[in-house]
Structure 1
Amino acid sequence: MDVIVLGAGLTVIFAALLILLLAVVSGGGGRRGLARALADIDAVYAPGAAQGRRTALSGTPHSRGPLGRAVTLLASRLTPNWAAVWLQRTLDHAGNPPSWPPARILEAQGWGLLLGVPTGALLGLLLVAVRGLPPVSTLILGALAGGVIGLWGPYLLVLNAAQRRQEQLLDTLPDTLDMLTLCVEAGLGFDAALQQVAAGIDGPLGRELARALQEMQMGKRRGEALRALADRTTIPELRNAMMSIVQATELGIPVAAVLREQSREMRVKRRQRAEERARKVPIKILFPLVFCLFPALFVVILGPGILRIIDAFSN
């Protein structure tokens, strides 16, 4: 009887997924031709607009084949608007990797959902066989858990990439400001100094400076380009530095003095971060020390004595 109930539950789940997939494919035709091309251009060159973000997530220009488009549409229908906006902003923080556009992330979400539901159901079936849990509720909960993990797993990967990139930006910020200060004090203009720094520094901060410089060469004002650079990051120090440079250029204050002060402040904060990390090391070492090293030491040191005491009392 239990086997029949489990088989019926799996059949119902797969049938529901198939009906949902067919409904999405038949009802979500999307836009074609020039409208989709304009939406893609807007999503690339104006990622700050919420409508552009949602449009980029709704299209399927990067999907492969009809099945890929179907799973992408399925994921887009199940993804709320706030999650779509959050995804595009997180992709901006991650540097907008060309190999992971929003449509491909949605496709990964769809495949994760379709693979996570049966995987979770099989794990629930295993728990039923091993632990003797209620079959129907365990099967449904396992399928739901697998679907949630498969649907939101790509978001966690994007968030991890964005956090690692922001840490790289923070690590290279003091040296970048020092180089920019030296170039400006040597007599170069701010744009020329920015070009030298962008060409001489590897990593995400160099690419961000090169992008801001390119935007200025295309006609955008310096303040707008630097504000856009600050909006693409989550680092307060970088935001403060960019806003200070913008205010200095708008108010006529010498940029070299502002950069020198910002460089001095960045060095102090870098030393403070190093001291903070050093003070956290004893706390992080405590748990491996207590649970891994101390038991082995106790066994080696106290083990022979305990064996002798047991032998003496037994005699």
Structure 2
Amino acid sequence: MALLFIMGVLLVFAAIALLAMAVGKPQAQGMHRSLAVIEAMSTAPSELTAELDRPFAERVLAPMQGRAFKIGRRLVGADAGERIRMKLDTAGNPAGWTVERVIGGKVIGAVAGAIGGFAFSALLGFEATTQIVFVAGGLFAGFFAPNLYLYQKGYDRSGRMQRDLPDAIDLMTISVESGLGFDAAVQQVATNTEGPLSDEFARVLREMQIGASRSESLRALSERTTVPEVRTFVSAMVQADAFGIPIAQVLRVQSSEIRVKRRQRAEEKAQQVPVKITIPLIFTILPCLFVAVMGPAVISIMGSFS
């Protein structure tokens, strides 16, 4: 019995040793393979590691956006590129926004919106019909989200240009009357002011420096904006340049007219206030007033009947 016990103990230890060797060998091999891969990557030529050294956006997001652009180009139509380019010009060409990215973003936004709508409706436990409605709503919202963003950016930028134009024309008028030329007066506005109007005048000067005529640069400015006052100003400057009319006189007239239009626009908005305040007055202020005035009387009447 003692001999059998000793043999059993030895067999157990032998099995443990074999198991440790069987487990440790793959780990050692895996470790050696990992070290070999790291060494190969560190000693590999730069041409082989250039693909892995590129940022995630270039390796994954850029090809995805390229495929989305190919799909979106078939969906939005042939003239969509020109229309989107006009919207980008109106919005001031935000950094990183191109026609290709906008079209690709519409497709990616549509897919993301559909997935988000499905996940939201499934999380709330809606029925299949309601889930379809949420998916369709998310798809349309994601598809038109870039357009809404560009529209809002263009609207805000046009409003800022409309507010800054009278002061800019006054500065140009003073500069021209003090002896500067029109180009130098535009340079004064581009240098001493800030905002989208200053950026547009700086772009006009750059286009003139690379060889475009004054009329062509001003007409390009008119095409990049939807502000009526800017287009009127550009038209007057082009006509004055073509017919030889004194610039200072034209600038003085334009300044006076634009200030009158700004005053009229302010009066128009002031007249719209009573109409716009009607809805919040009816649905928010009057109910609170009725509760404060009629509440005690209603409570007293209910107490009398009870």
**Greater shift in the superposed pair: 75-84 or 94-103:** 75-84
The answer on whether the counterparts of 2:110 and 2:142 sit within 8 Å (CA) in structure 1 is yes
> How much has 1:123 moved relative to structure 2?
5.2
Matched, 1:111 2:103: no
Q: Secondary structure at the match of 1:106?
A: helix
Structure 2 unaligned runs (5+)? 1-57
Look at both structures and tell me which one has the larger radius of gyration over its CA atoms: 2
> How much has 1:281 moved relative to structure 2?
1.5
Matched, 1:98 2:90: no
| Aligned counterpart in structure 1 of residue 246 of structure 2, from 249, 254, 259 | 254
Matched, 1:80 2:100: no
> How much has 1:122 moved relative to structure 2?
4.4
| Aligned counterpart in structure 2 of residue 306 of structure 1, from 295, 298, 304 | 298
> How much has 1:311 moved relative to structure 2?
1.1
Separation in structure 2 between the aligned mates of residue 75 and residue 205 of structure 1, nearest angstrom: 33
Aligned residue number for residue 11 of structure 1 = none
Q: Secondary structure at the match of 2:277?
A: helix
Separation in structure 2 between the aligned mates of residue 63 and residue 101 of structure 1, nearest angstrom: 19
| Aligned counterpart in structure 2 of residue 89 of structure 1, from 78, 86, 90 | 86
The amino acid of 1:240's aligned partner reads T
The answer on whether the counterparts of 2:65 and 2:101 sit within 8 Å (CA) in structure 1 is no
Separation in structure 2 between the aligned mates of residue 281 and residue 144 of structure 1, nearest angstrom: 37
Matched, 1:161 2:161: no
> How much has 1:108 moved relative to structure 2?
2.2
TM-score, structure 1 normalization: 0.73
Structure 1 unaligned runs (5+)? 1-60
The answer on whether the counterparts of 1:124 and 1:141 sit within 8 Å (CA) in structure 2 is no
Residues 101, 205 of structure 1: alpha-carbon distance in 2 compared, 3 angstrom cutoff: same
State how 1:1-315 maps to structure 2 within 5 Å: 64-122=61-119, 130=126, 135=128, 138-314=130-306
Separation in structure 2 between the aligned mates of residue 118 and residue 191 of structure 1, nearest angstrom: 54
Q: Secondary structure at the match of 1:81?
A: coil
Aligned residue number for residue 30 of structure 1 = none
TM-score, structure 2 normalization: 0.75
Q: Secondary structure at the match of 2:226?
A: coil
> How much has 1:298 moved relative to structure 2?
1.2
Aligned residue number for residue 9 of structure 1 = none
Aligned residue number for residue 6 of structure 2 = none
Residues 166, 266 of structure 1: alpha-carbon distance in 2 compared, 3 angstrom cutoff: same
Q: Secondary structure at the match of 2:179?
A: coil
Residues 63, 186 of structure 1: alpha-carbon distance in 2 compared, 3 angstrom cutoff: farther
